[in-house]
Amino acid sequence: MTADRPRQAALEVLRAVREDDAYANLVGPQVIHGFGLTGRDAGLATELAYGTLRWRGLYDAILTPLVTRSWDRVEPALQDVLRLGAHQLLAMRVPDHAAVDSSCDLARAAGAPPGAAARAGFVNAVLRKVAARDVEGWATQLQGGRADDDLGWLSTRWSHPTWITRALRDALGPRRDELVDLLAADNAPVRPTLVARPGRIDVEELLALPETEPGRWSPLAAALAEGTPAALSCVRDGRVGVQDEGSQLVALAVARAAVDGGDTAWLDVCSGPGGKAALLDGWVRERGGQLVAVEQHEHRARLVREALGPHSTADVLVGDARERPWGDQRFDRVLVDAPCTGLGALRRRPESRWRRTPADLASLGPLQRELLSAALDAVRPGGVVGYATCSPHVAETELVVSDALRGRDDIEVVDVPALLPEVPDAAVGPYLQLWPHRHGTDAMFCAILRRRL
């Protein structure tokens, strides 16, 4: 028997993530298109792949004692098959026999023909053991005598590396009791969010489409209620982008902050892949100005140009922002959407939690500080700088800002939550911190700094 195409596609996504370091949100649509899947089949393949990646930690904890050899000695391809089967048994409405039989089919095709029967038999035996309990039954067994708030237990139950669970708990500060809600939100499927790009389409036109409904916070947002973004002509022609509302709100805050004097020269320091740049470009052109967008890598600079569209007057520079490729020009508004660990986007990039390590914080920290310093030097007196990360980790947010301000008396901190009064419960002092479980967005952080006259 041949495995069905949605499951084959999901397994191919898992393989690409594992072997090629692919990003699921990028490779997934390509694989699904390559398999010719649409509608419910495309949705099934997406849930199979994304759900398996999200819950990999829990499934590995369940599967490891059920195999007769070390889990590390199980072929990686069969590990993926077992995880895929466990997801169907424990998190989807797939009958046990269908989940097991389809997984055996995948196992038969996972290697050379002589071993097909043995691989299928192995997968069959393990998954029948998994099917003996539901997910709560397995959770009870795995918890043992550990307390409900034990970090190791929470990390297993909610499928996050322990260091990330600890970092998220610390980032919540006095609201640590929300940790389980946050971890659960990281594992919830996410509907695509669209943005009406200023100067190219009105949000009313976007919301008139039967597939869309209003966003929660951003005045430019629409949630895609059904279908895929690529099916919409306004997305294909670039008038509408696919962009999380958190990212939209960061760009909006930078555009709303008051500046003293002119307001026609804007800079996006880390512009790839171009989502925020497209918003800033539309707004600055409405004011008769121009955007300068800087991106270090040419392939990402091409994405920026695509997002900006053919009618943009923006100047896209390929270079390292720390070396100030814009020369001596000073700007009225500057955005630094700094490279970060992406711990705030785990719900959309489920594989990231298994790739990132604490060492990434040490390597990214100096870069974030240098980029913010370059931005502060590039803004003119009276202008503003927005510093943003898609991470709530204090080492990438408040500590970076405080270090950049140390020894400077020409910078004042702007109250970002006051710029976004429509978004509740997002203030950390003068900074903005969004959360998946509170706002349904990525955990975006934003600080805005004004250079004094």
Q: What is the pLDDT of residues 437-447, one digit of tens each?
A: 999 999 999 99
pLDDT for residue 321: 97
In this prediction, residue 3 has a pLDDT band, given cuts at 50, 70 and 90, of low
**Long-range pairs for 169-172 at CB < 8 Å and ≥24 separation?**
170/394, 171/392, 171/393, 171/394, 171/397, 171/433, 171/443
Check if the beta carbon of residue 441 is closer than 8 Å to that of residue 190: no
For the chain, the first-to-last Cα distance in angstroms comes to: 74
| Distance (Å, whole) CA 117 – CA 105 | 10
pLDDT for residue 113: 85
Phi first, then psi: give them for residue 294, nearest 5 degrees: -115, 130
- Burial, 75: exposed, middle or buried (Cβ in 10 Å; 0-12, 13-18, 19+)? middle
Q: What token pair was written down for 313?
A: 């007057």
CA angle in degrees (0–180, nearest 5) for 422-416-430:
120
- Residues making up the chain, counted from first to last: 453
Check if the beta carbon of residue 229 is closer than 8 Å to that of residue 274: no
What would the CATH number be for the domain defined by 245-451? 3.40.50.150
Give the distance, in angstroms, between the CA of residue 274 and the centroid of all CA atoms in the same chain: 15
| Distance (Å, whole) CA 380 – CA 262 | 10
Helix axes 76-91, 56-63, angle to 10 degrees: 100
| Distance (Å, whole) CA 56 – CA 51 | 8
| pLDDT, mean of residues 25-50 | 92
Tell me, letter by letter, the H, E, C secondary structure of 257-307.
CCCCCCCCEEEECCCCCCHHHHHHHHHHHHCCCEEEEEECCHHHHHHHHHH
Q: Is 340 a catalytic residue?
A: no
- Among residues 104, 234, 390, 446, the one annotated as catalytic is 390
Residue 1 has pLDDT above 60, yes or no: no
Check if the beta carbon of residue 27 is closer than 8 Å to that of residue 13: yes
Single pTM value for the model: 0.94
Strand residues in 375-451 grouped as ranges (E): 379-389, 411-414, 427-428, 431-433, 445-451
| pLDDT, mean of residues 1-17 | 88
Q: pLDDT tens across 83-114, in order?
A: 999 999 999 999 999 999 999 999 999 887 88
What would the CATH number be for the domain defined by 5-136? 1.10.940.10
| pLDDT, mean of residues 178-186 | 98
Q: pLDDT tens across 324-380, in order?
A: 999 999 999 999 999 999 999 999 999 999 999 999 999 999 999 999 999 999 999
pLDDT for residue 110: 87
| pLDDT, mean of residues 139-153 | 95
Residue 202 has pLDDT above 80, yes or no: yes
